[in-house]
Chains A and B, each alone.
Chain A
Amino acid sequence: MSALQNIFKVVSNERLCPRFYKLSIDAGAVAKKVQPGQFVHIRVNDSFQPFFRRPFSVYRAKKYLDVFYEVVGPGTKALSNKKKGDDVDVLGPVGTPFTLPSKKAKQIVMIAGGIGVAPFLILSDRLKQQGFELVLLYGGRTKGHVYPMKEFKQNGCKVFVATDDGSVGVKGRVSNLFSKIVPDPSTTVIYTCGPSPMMAAVQAFAKRYHLSGQAACEEVMACALGACLGCSIKTTSGYKTVCYDGPVFNLHEIIFENTH
């Protein structure tokens, strides 16, 4: 009964580096509707294993709907087996998108950990050539986990990378790159997406310098339609669903737990 669910064809499903893939779906109608930060809920196969759909941020929405994903378990493994011409069952776009920065903003800092970079390409697609300084701080585990940043650079983003082992960019965490930010409360805006400990560090940094920001969160999901109330996280105004109230929240509203 959902007007948002449809079957589309796979255009391509490309392996970009050892565990990262890019899936292009011939879903122009969905692509047209998507706003940066929204996601799609994909049924990876028709069996009951895995049972749930899997949520993925929209990576790019031009002619096709693109999803950028990392293989971490059975659902993403099944997705990686899809071939050109295969059917893919997509529900979406769903979720509350990023609020785009006001004209006053100068420096837009996107801070991503791992696959958390996914919602930022479409964001930079929308923000490019508008006079903002676009900065991407990206943290990955090692070389094999760092996706070539070509598309971000083409959008005019200044890209800074940190890896745990220093195999690319600076050695250490993404927080080692915070020095690239010019923290001016009236003109610097932060967008972040990645593992909770990283986003907690971003929140602490933003708080210290009184910067406003938004965070895209992740939680295991069943419906992705705000119906089951299963994907709730703690916020300063009570439990909120990541799929419906989020995934994008005010950075300062989220209460990160178990991050120490």
Chain B
Amino acid sequence: MNLSVKIGNVKFLNPVTVASGTFGHAEKYYNLEEVKKIGAIVPKTVTLNAQAGNPPVRIAETPAGMLNAIGIENPGIDKFIETKLPAFKKIGVPLIISILGHNDKEFKEIARRINKIKGISAVELNLSCPNLKHKTLVAQDPKATSRIVKLVKKELKIPVLAKLSPNVTDISLIAKAAEDAGADGVSLVNTFTAMVIDIEKRKSVLGNFTGGLSGPAIRPIAVYMVHKVYQTVKIPIVAMGGITCAQDALQFMIAGASMVAVGTYNFVNPRATLEVLTGIKDYMKVNKIKDIKKIIGSLK
């Protein structure tokens, strides 16, 4: 059975990964023998300088999902490399590092620092965090998307993925802009801008006022968006949005995703990522599929 997939020139042993911002402290809390089996790990987005994150309340439970407005709390790229990366590397699973710059210069500088370190398989550009008070997201503007992808591609030899926002009229236009600018793949979707109101206080529940909706609640929209992007671009798609099990993940793969990531559901079932992998293998066995590529984009 061949489960391997490629992004740019990098091969991943299987298509199952975790979504940025939903996986951490594996060294303390996870069975690393099990974690070793997944295709890749994507740690939380890092920025050039440390960020404290948004004031609480940062999360809210919603029907079949959640809102978050964490605000990319992270130690900054240098501290990340020094204090967090070693534990991730030790797991021995390919790493896709998610980065975010607040302007062109920052993206370039982070890329340069990543270039100096070994053992990273790919970079994911977070062009789509809805929780940072920017008026428009990079991934809401095809020109800005193109510019950032180009400038990071110039710095990096390893594959670059552009992580897209679903908060757009036509996500395939942005995906196309990323492809034309040289991106090796696109990741979608990030969270949907949303809010929950406390009716007693008549205030928004979240400290950041709005947040990003994720979890099973968004899955059908995410599947549709992956389908739409697959119709438009040739580069591989890393898909996420409410995946809880292999059946969910397979919908995305049939729609055109080369890789699938479990995000929010890690919080509910911390074994979900591995169960997705096992379930995909079972599906291939039952349906006598020898190569995962036969599933990708196989929608009739």
| Any B CB within 8 A of the CB of A227 | yes
The interface residues of chain A lying within 8 Å CB-to-CB of B34 are: 1
B35 — which chain A residues lie within 8 A by C-beta? 1
> Is A1 within 8 A of B30, CB to CB?
yes
Across chains A and B, the number of contacting residue pairs, with CB separation under 8 Å, is 110
**Residues of chain B lying within 8 A (CB to CB) of residue A224:** 267
- Given A3-B30, A220-B60, A230-B70, check contact A52 B267 (CB 8 Å): yes
User: Chain A, 221-241, contact with B by CB distance < 8 Å: what is the 0/1 string?
Assistant: 111111111111110001100
Complex: chain A residue closest to B62, CB-CB = A51
Task: Let me know if B60 and A227 touch, CB within 8 A.
Answer: no
In the complex formed, the residue of B with least CB distance to A227 is: B24
Interchain CB contact (< 8 A) of B59 among A50, A53, A222, A238: A222
A223–B273 Cα gap in the complex (Å)? 14
Tell whether, in the assembled complex, residue B23 and residue A239 are in contact, meaning their CB atoms are under 8 Å apart. no
Tell me the dominant secondary structure on chain B's binding face.
loop
Does A1 contact B268, Cβ atoms closer than 8 Å? no
- The bracket for how many chain B residues form the interface is 35 or more
A228 and B23 CA atoms in complex are apart in Å by 7
* Chain A residues closer than 8 Å to B56, beta-carbon distance: 219, 232-234, 239
Q: Collect the chain B residues with CB atoms within 8 Å of residue A230's CB.
A: 58-59, 68, 70
CA of A3 to CA of B34, assembled, Å: 9
Max chain B C-beta neighbours (<10 A), residue from A91, A226, A228, A234: A228
**Cross-chain contact of B267 among A48, A50, A53, A94 (Cβ < 8 A):** A53
Interface flags, B226-257, vs A, CB<8A=1, else 0: 00000000000000000000000000000000
What size tier do the contact residues of chain A reach?
20 to 34
B193 within 8 A of A: no
CB distance from A38 to the nearest CB of B (A): 13
Which of B269-299 touch A at CB < 8 Å?
269-271, 273-274
Interface-central residue, A1, A43, A244, by most chain B CB under 10 Å = A1
Q: Give the contacts of B45-103 with A (CB-CB under 8 A).
A: 52-53, 55-66, 68, 70, 73
CA A174 to CA B77, docked complex, whole Å: 47
Our pick among A48, A220, A225, A244 for the contact of B270 (Cβ within 8 Å) is A225
Cα separation A205 to B269 with both chains bound (whole Å): 41
Asked if B53 and A52 make an inter-chain contact with CB atoms under 8 angstroms apart, the answer reads no
Say whether B22 faces chain A, with CB atoms less than 8 Å apart: yes
> Looking at the complex, which one of A48, A219, A227, A231 makes contact with B266 (CB distance below 8 Å)?
A227
Q: How far is the CB of B16 from chain A (nearest CB, A)?
A: 11
Q: Is the CB of A2 within 8 A of B270?
A: yes
Contact: B68 with A228, CB < 8 Å?
A: yes
Contact A1 B66 (CB under 8 A): no
Verify A223–B266 contact, CB threshold 8 A.
yes
List chain B residues, Cβ under 8 A from A226.
24-25, 28-29
Asked whether B273 lies within 8 Å of A50 as measured between CB atoms, the reply is no
Q: Is B31 an interface residue (CB 8 A)?
A: yes
Find out whether the CB atom of B68 lies under 8 angstroms from the CB atom of A48.
Answer: no
Chain A residues within 8 Å of B25, by CB: 225-227, 244
Whether, in the assembled complex, B216 has its beta carbon less than 8 Å from a beta carbon of chain A, the answer is: yes
- On chain B, the residues within 8 Å of A238 by CB distance are 52
Q: Does B215 contact A (CB under 8 A)?
A: yes
Is the beta-carbon distance between A220 and B61 smaller than 8 angstroms?
Answer: yes
> Which residues does chain B contribute within 8 Å of A222, judged by CB atoms?
59, 61, 66, 68, 264, 267
| Additional 19 contacts, C-beta under 8 A, given A94-B29, A220-B61 | A1-B38, A1-B274, A2-B270, A4-B270, A49-B63, A51-B61, A51-B63, A52-B267, A91-B270, A220-B59, A223-B270, A225-B29, A227-B23, A227-B24, A227-B266, A232-B53, A233-B56, A234-B55, A239-B53
20 A-B residue pairs with CB within 8 Å? A1-B31, A1-B38, A1-B273, A2-B29, A5-B271, A48-B216, A222-B59, A225-B24, A225-B29, A226-B28, A227-B22, A227-B267, A229-B70, A229-B73, A230-B59, A230-B70, A231-B59, A232-B73, A234-B56, A238-B52
B-to-A contact residues, CB < 8 Å: 21-26, 28-31, 34-35, 38, 44, 52-53, 55-66, 68, 70, 73, 215-216, 264, 266-271, 273-274
